[in-house]
């Protein structure tokens, strides 16, 4: 059964995601020991969730190379966030932050999947989206791995590498990772971006703009800190 948008269940999940994001950031900033436990918990949870889902798809005979390679942006954001948590890598954290707060957040607001609780697709989807948002918020704010100067350019370059790899794989095996070959069949905001391949240009420009916006608070934070140091 397809998950229904903007029901009480959907609003509950969104509200819980916001609450838990704020709660775990508070815990991470206040308690050093809890911060270490949480970074391992979230990192292992994200990686385990991906393995469990892949195993489920394989064991049920649903796994297909055209659909199940970890080449969706949310898949890579899960991997990057998990590695950033486990290895304490700021460079990975800033990329994960931008991809999660632009792509994964949209996926949580407009989820597109089949399944009901407690089926594996349902649980896996929300761990990989709501859980990823919570983990990434903790990663950046709870662990204080804030994006640094030049982060926008690094994220844009990383996104171009993803674009090139996903587009190449799509061409070779006939897949549609990242919706780079055609728009979602069920309709989406991409319908307003023009026909193929022109909507890809819109995606590129919009992505760069959104990355700038989600990084803007950190730039302002650094400017305020610099001004205080000069006083």
Q: Which one is predicted more confidently, 227 or 85?
A: 85
Phi, psi of 216 (to 5 degrees): -60, -40
Query: What's the whole-model pTM score?
Result: 0.91
Contact call for residues 215 and 151 (beta carbons, < 8 A): yes
pLDDT tens for 71-113 read 999 999 999 999 999 999 999 999 999 999 998 998 898 887 8
In this prediction, residue 205 has a pLDDT band, given cuts at 50, 70 and 90, of very high
Burial of 38 (0-12, 13-18, 19+ CB in 10 A): buried
The residue ranges of every structural domain in the chain are 8-230
Q: Is the pLDDT of residue 225 over 60?
A: no
What is the arithmetic mean of pLDDT over 209-225?
82
d(CA 159, CA 57) in angstroms, rounded, equals: 27
């Amino acid at each position: 059964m397809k998950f229904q948008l903007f029901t009480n269940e959907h609003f509950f999940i969104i509200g819980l995601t916001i609450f838990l994001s704020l709660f775990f950031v508070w815990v991470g900033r206040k308690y050093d020991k809890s911060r270490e436990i949480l970074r391992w918990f979230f990192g292992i949870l994200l990686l385990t969730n991906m393995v469990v889902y892949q195993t489920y798809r394989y064991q049920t005979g649903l796994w297909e190379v055209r659909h199940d390679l970890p080449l969706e942006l949310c898949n890579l954001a899960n991997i990057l966030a998990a590695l950033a948590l486990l290895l304490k890598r700021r460079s990975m954290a800033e990329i994960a932050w931008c991809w999660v707060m632009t792509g994964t957040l949209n996926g949580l607001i407009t989820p597109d999947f089949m399944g009901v609780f407690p089926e594996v697709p349902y649980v896996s989807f929300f761990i990989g989206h709501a859980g990823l948002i919570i983990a990434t918020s903790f990663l950046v704010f709870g662990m204080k791995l804030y994006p640094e100067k030049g982060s926008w350019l690094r994220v844009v370059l990383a996104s171009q590498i993803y674009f090139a790899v996903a587009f190449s794989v799509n061409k070779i095996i006939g897949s549609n990772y990242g919706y780079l070959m055609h728009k979602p069949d069920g309709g989406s905001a991409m319908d307003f971006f023009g026909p193929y391949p022109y909507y890809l240009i819109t995606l590129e420009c919009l992505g760069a703009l959104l990355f700038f916006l989600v990084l803007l608070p950190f730039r302002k934070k650094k400017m305020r800190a610099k001004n205080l140091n000069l006083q």
